[in-house]
Structure 1
Amino acid sequence: MRIVIEFYRTRAQDDAHALLGRESAEVADLAAAIALAGLRAQALADSPALMPQRPDALVIRDADGTTLHELAFDDALLPPTERRSP
C-alpha cells in the first residue's frame, strides 16, 4: 500500500502544527508503515542536517489522505533543551 509519512512540529499553547517534512513509500501493511516511520524518525534524530528542526509528531496517511496512525514523540526522547515540560 502507498503511504505518506508527515513530520510535524507542534505548539501546545494553541495546538498549531507546522509540517517539517513529507515522505512517501510503498509498504505491505500498517505495521510495516509504522516500522518505517520509526526508522525515518530515528534517522532524522541521528542526522540533524537532514531536517532544519526536530519533529515532535508524525502522521501516516494512505494514498487518499486518510490518517492511519498518529504519534507524538515523548518529551523524554528529546534533548533537555528541546523539552516542553520539565
Structure 2
Amino acid sequence: MGNLKFVIEFYRTRETDDAHAVVGRETIEAGDLAEAIEVARLLSQTLDMPQRPDAIAITDLSGNALFSGIVDVS
C-alpha cells in the first residue's frame, strides 16, 4: 500500500477564549495516521514558523478531520 497524503495545521490556542490562530500548514505523505502524527510532532519543533505551535490538527486532502491534539513539548 502506498503513502497517503495528510494536511497538518499547526496553531496556537489563546487560553482566555480558546481561539485558534494557524501559524503553519504542511502537506505530507505518510504510511498511516500514526506516522503522520509523529511527523507532525517532529515538524512542530523544527519548522520555521512565526510562533511555536501548541497544538496540531491533521486532515485528509478533502478537509476531513482525522486528529487534533496538543503538541507534547517534552
TM-score, normalising length: structure 2: 0.84
Cα RMSD for the two superposed structures: 1.6
**Counterpart-to-counterpart distance in 2, 1:13 and 1:54:** 18
Query: After the TM superposition, which parts of structure 1 deviate over 2 Å for at least 4 consecutive aligned residues?
Result: none
Residue aligned with 2:50, SS: coil
Going by fraction, where is strand more abundant, 1 or 2?
Answer: 2
Percent identity among equivalent residues? 54
Following the alignment from structure 1 to structure 2, what is the Cα–Cα distance between the partners of residues 39 and 56? Answer: 13
Structure 2: gaps (5+ residues): none
Name the SS for the 2:62 alignment partner: coil
Q: Which residue of 2 aligns with 1:11?
A: 14
Give me the TM-score of the superposition, normalised by structure 1: 0.73
Cα offset, 1:30, TM superposition: 0.7
**Structure-1 separation of matches of 2:50 and 2:63:** 25
Instruction: Name the structure with the higher helix share.
Output: 1
Residues 73-84 of structure 1 mapped to structure 2, 5 A cutoff: 73=71, 77=73
> Rg: which structure is higher?
1
Q: Which residue of 2 aligns with 1:60?
A: 58
Offset of residue 66 of structure 1: 1.0
Aligned pairs, number: 71
Deviations 1:13-33 (A, max 9, x none): 111000100000111111111
The residue number in structure 2 matching 1:2 is 5
Unaligned runs of 5+ in 1: 45-49, 79-86
